[in-house]
Homo-oligomer: A and B are copies of this chain.
Amino acid sequence: MYRTHSCGELRASHINSEVTLAGWVQKSRDKGFMIWVDLRDRYGITQLIFDEERTPADIMEKAKSLGREFVVQIKGTVIERVSKNDKMPTGDVEVLVTELTILNNAKLPPFTIEDKTDGGEDIRMKYRYLDIRRNPVKNSLIFRHKVAMEVRKYLSEQEFIEVETPYLIKSTPEGARDFVVPSRMNEGQFYALPQSPQTFKQLLMVGGIDKYFQIVKCFRDEDLRADRQPEFTQIDCEMSFVEQEDILNVFEGLTRHLLKEINGVEVDKFPRIQYDDAMRLYGNDKPDIRFGMEFGELNSVTKHKDFGVFNSAELVVGIAIPGGNEFTRKQIDNLIKWVKRPQVGALGMVYCRVNEDGTFKSSVDKFYDQEDLAKWAEITNAKPGDLICVLSGETTKVRTQLSALRMHLAEELGLRKPNEFAPLWVVDFPLLELDEETGHYHAMHHPFTSPKSGQLELLATNPGAVKANAYDLVLNGNEIGGGSIRIHDKATQSTMFKHLGFTEEEAKAQFGFLMDAFEYGAPPHGGIAFGLDRLVAILGGQETIRDFIAFPKNNSGRDVMIDAPAPLDDEQLQELNLKLDIEE
């Protein structure tokens, strides 16, 4: 062993002990006659001291040669520090060094190994192994480990079994794009990497496993957006002989356990909201309910006057910004500019100041009197001192726009507090979703989701109206989990495939094994999957997932540290019976 203690361990009680430490040189201060070195490892920092009077000359000299991030081992005596540092756990002591071994040199790192580094994103990704030495990244990885362990402990105690499902499976063109893996032993054939273990966990239910979970990597070959990774981690769960209510209770329990154990936060029973209500009140199926600003629909109190913009709109809808009457004219103009940006896409914004004396001043006073505006205030729940912002247009679009404005303002006003947690179940999702490009319906959750009892017939007549036994768990405006009660009989599953545009042959080729399984005694079952990367980030009070992933890929799906992907040897291609099909 290279050490008797870690660099985070020594306290006043260790004074006079002989110790051996090993770690990295965080920094050193050389006063000539005296040198202090901060020695760092995963567990903390300990101050080393070398001084002319007490340290042999050769060690003194070696100490002077130490550069940042050198790896050293020292032996020495723990002594009391003259000027104590109460900001560090080891701040009462320092180690007077008697032996110094340089275990490895270090080139000057390309960025500083500090909480606030001078390195940009790109350079930190290239030298991720150095970035990981920094507390914000290191602590995020440790945090992730703790969350995963708590998930496993909790579910194990609830008699869930973690079962590993295969990574080399079959490609199903439906849904997102698969990553595929050519098979050398099966010429011209390919495996696919799982987008999720969905069908396997359902087969485990058919197999009687009853309660399954797995923390598992999943893969999607999608064009990457910011904060999306081609490989990501799911907490994947499934239960037999359950209804929606059972799943919600069990996984509310898990989430409550995590909030308590990880964040020390006790949360009441999670509120539930129907999908339709979430869209109506927040314009969004993953509303952040840490703050109010619920939508007020204003059609009934706007369409009686001559304001053409509102009269021609399908929906007129507003929110009250708490304290927004403080905004200057310029601030409001900036808000209007913000909603008109192409990323948001509103054509304009009407506003109404609610003065402290209860009077109103709106941008459409020409059309609406105080009595009208009082009704707006009532519906949007605006109080004196607030500002009402009103958008109008086609229902789906205007809801999305107002939702964006709501989140933007909440961010600006500091209402999205990272250590406040407001979980919420969104239930009764539609079964199908219209693809505006193709005009076809596809499964909103996935094709194995069951429609609400008695609504199967509606599929033929009004597919868009069918509701599903599907639910999302939302935390602080992020979907952290989603699931459904599954179809468990072949007839219903066939009907679903038909409505999703599968021919009988396609359904059989891709999911025949699952439909066969349903004929051999499939139990009623359902489940949920959590996005671990996002869950961990939110519990950690962060909005971006990248620091919680040890070796993330960039937005082109590249690992810039190892420089992957990369071309293959010709020989490897030949063995796989493949040729590149690239125009020179």
Contacts and interface: CB of A to CB of B under 8 A. Distances in A.
A200 B40 CA distance: 21
B180 A181 contact: yes
Contacts of A182: 180, 182
A interface majority secondary structure: loop
Interface in A139-159: 141-142, 144-145, 148-149, 152, 156
Interface stretch (A239-247, A328-336, A456-464): A239-247
Interface residues of A, number: 127
Interface stretch (A265-273, A307-315, A396-404, A565-573): A565-573
Nearest to A573: B581
Interface string A362-387: 00000000000000000000000000
A108 to B, nearest CB: 9
A547 interface: no
A208 B104 contact: no
Contact of A241 (B2, B177, B565): B2
Interface in A509-553: 513, 517-524, 549-551, 553
Please tell me how many copies of the chain the complex holds. Answer: 2
A67 B206 CA distance: 16
Given A129-B203, A167-B217, A209 B141 contact: yes
Nearest to A161: B145
A41 interface: yes
B170 A559 contact: yes
Interface string A236-276: 00000111011000000000000000000000000000000
A221 B167 contact: no
A165 B193 CA distance: 16
Interface in A186-235: 186-193, 199-200, 203-204, 206-211, 217, 219, 221, 223-224, 230-231, 233
B133 A557 contact: no
A170 to B, nearest CB: 4
Interface string A171-189: 1010001111111111111
A1 interface: yes
Contacts of A520: 69, 106-107, 109, 127, 129-130
A488 interface: yes
A523 to B, nearest CB: 5
A582 interface: yes
B168 A553 contact: yes
Contact of A523 (B22, B207, B521, B567): B22
Nearest to A149: B156
B107 A168 contact: no
Nearest to A182: B180
A501 to B, nearest CB: 15
Given A207-B132, A231-B168, A188 B567 contact: yes
A164 interface: yes
A523 B207 CA distance: 48
A539 B390 CA distance: 67
B521 A553 contact: no
A81 interface: no
Given A208-B133, A578-B581, A171 B521 contact: no
A565 B168 contact: yes
A128 to B, nearest CB: 7
Nearest to A24: B521
Nearest to A184: B221
A62 interface: no
Nearest to A137: B207
A572 B132 contact: no
A521 B209 CA distance: 48
Contacts of A246: 1
A579 interface: yes
A246 B22 CA distance: 15
For A106, A171, A551, the residue with the greatest tally of chain B CB atoms inside 10 Å of its CB is A551
Contacts of A210: 41-43
Contact of A185 (B170, B180, B557): B557
A558 interface: yes
Contacts of A142: 161
Nearest to A25: B521
Interface in A32-64: 40-43
B513 A106 contact: no
A556 B580 CA distance: 26
A231 B491 CA distance: 34
Contacts of A489: 104
A82 interface: no
A453 interface: no
For A69, A73, A104, A181, the residue with the greatest tally of chain B CB atoms inside 10 Å of its CB is A181
Nearest to A145: B161
A204 B104 contact: no
Given A22-B523, A243-B1, A558 B71 contact: no
25 contacts: A40-B208, A41-B208, A42-B208, A70-B521, A104-B521, A104-B524, A129-B204, A129-B206, A130-B520, A131-B207, A132-B207, A145-B161, A149-B152, A149-B162, A164-B233, A167-B217, A168-B231, A168-B559, A169-B559, A170-B562, A171-B568, A185-B223, A513-B561, A574-B581, A579-B579
